[in-house]
Structure 1
Amino acid sequence: MSTLATLGWGPYFSAQLSSEEASTLLVGRVVADRGRRLRLRFEAGDRLVIVPGHLLGAEPAPVAGDFVLAAPGEPPVVARVLERRSALSRNAAGRATVEQVLAANVDLVLVVQGLDEGAHPRRLERTLAAVHASGAEPAVILTKADLVPDAGAALAEARAAASGAPVLLASGVSGEGLDGLAGLVGPGRTAVFVGPSGAGKSTLVNALLGRAEQPVAAVRARDARGRHTTTARRLFELPGGGCVIDGPGIRELRLWDAGGIAAAFDDVAALAAGCRFRDCRHAGEPGCAVAGAVEAGRLDAGRLESLRKLEREAALQEARRGGAAARAEKLRWRPIKKAQRRMYRDRDRG
């Protein structure tokens, strides 16, 4: 198998190349994101490449996991980013409504939760909704089971929130669950670790690689909070096949759109099919099957409230995006209108 094939290269990407591009440009995958410079893995090995200025501020700007075309040279220069099969995104930090792509062409998102903080079902639901929206599959990895008195109860709580996604107990220290974790990734597939600092993501990466590649640090004793130890998003090849991406910023996925909410709450959707009214909002309407399930104890009231909260948040995000688009269009037309006014003024003077 070729180097690129082991990294996930296949017909979806090769079909995007013209015959001229296939004969004149190099194909590589981004294995380290360093801003103006990227580390790409080509068939002949790794090279640092230059990202031209017009691509840095453009969409899509290359990120870890992207397949790109580069013009040969010393160093090579990125010519084009190939269309992504999936993109792990969140709303960028700050007040602006801007999509930030964290990783590209991801098949599996491993949501890591340390049980020293509890199962956090509401956090899991939010993250899983964002994962489904990306086009990738989710799996939940529970770490630090040795720090809780009843890991079985925490496992059951996480499974109830995961809506059918695989949930595993794993430890990068003891090796528990690593075979099952590696089996989820598999040859030709790419996984990315998501989770709060101190949950054990980098420890799991090192355990899967069989070497200390990612730095790790102990959590703070006073509040059990972790510290960032990774400095750049990187893609690693696993010994048994497949790849994993880890790095800073991939700790919490903020909901970008509503596309994954239904999949994250498919159990509620199944119940809603039994409601008397097709447009039932499960807020006191007669004949509401969802409310009936809550009353009967078959659906956690907290899970229903979590769904409502995410739907409200997604609607607000959509409204903000519409406002941002309108502002961008207004800015685009501003110099045009100014030039028109100047033209009319000059014509009147003449």
Structure 2
Amino acid sequence: MTALEKQQKKISVIIPVYNAEKYIRETLDSIIKQSYKNLEIILIDNGSKDRSPDIIQKYEAKYPEIHMIEGSGKGPGASRNRGLKLAKGDYIVFADADDYLPDKDIFCKYINLAEQTDADIVVSNYARLWKDKILPATKHQSFALCSPSSEEFRFQGFFSVGTLSYAWGKLYRREFLRNHQIYFADLSYAEDKLFNMQCYICDAKYAFLEDIGYIYRKNDMSVSWQYRPDSVENWFKLVYELKSWIEKKDKDPKEYTSLIGYLLIFAAFFDGKMEYMQHKKSLWAVRKVLKKYGSNPMGRKAFTELADRRKKLQITQKLWKIMIRTFSLGMKWRWYLLMSVGIKILVSCRVDERLSDTGIRKK
């Protein structure tokens, strides 16, 4: 395919917006300056109370490829769905209104790799912006060469490295999403994790780009970093949606048992940590939330299966193996207070940060 033919492939960039006046200019400038010009940029404003709509309207008047529409106020997932239904591009890129693209050629690189490999999803590396410092995240090379059906690919892709979980930092083939009717579920948060797991279950073909294609700004006001009393319910809703999707696509549920198990372990640890931080380091608050996970039938089943020593965990990282087996065993036997102490120790020693995608961060 010639360079001209590739430029004829349109990319639809979909950006949910809510009170983003501080960063939206930087976001839009990084997209407008892309060397790949066949774009449409769809911004869905979710009832911003600041000057975001005014700023976007000025860009819209200057750049014909920019279109702002009014959202439903139901969150980023609903906004992305609105954008997907309006998009006319051959490919889809999602971005958040407070992030930016560091490489002006990243769309060209996405298109080139997608067309060369016939990929449904092209995944780039990314970095996080933390207190004005760029922290490169763990690169996807650690799992990109693994078979997509392998435990290693799933565990690292969606959990320990996590690159596959996010809607941003990727190029999606619109035809693939449309053919499989993949949209964002109505969740309080983590809807992008479910979206990408649904893509995975539909046997998406992946291609991996080594370049850093996205800068994610850690925003303390983001729902991903805020305490939410309904978090346990949200995670179980996600799990039930995922289970329903597996059945809908006529897949063998046994093939995805570990995927659901890992999801619940990470969710339980995350919620335990958030309860610990929110309630003045109260172990009883952590115990209460862990009990919710352990009392749920799907949670009990998942923890029991992962605790079964007869089943070998097919992942290479020894520390993760030990932590998953120990956590599962504790949840299986309802040692909630002991597990709460374990979470306290891990958080106090910042082990959770050491195992995160960017490693330990300076305060």
The TM tier, using the shorter chain, reads: under 0.3
What's the TM-score, normalizing by structure 1? 0.27
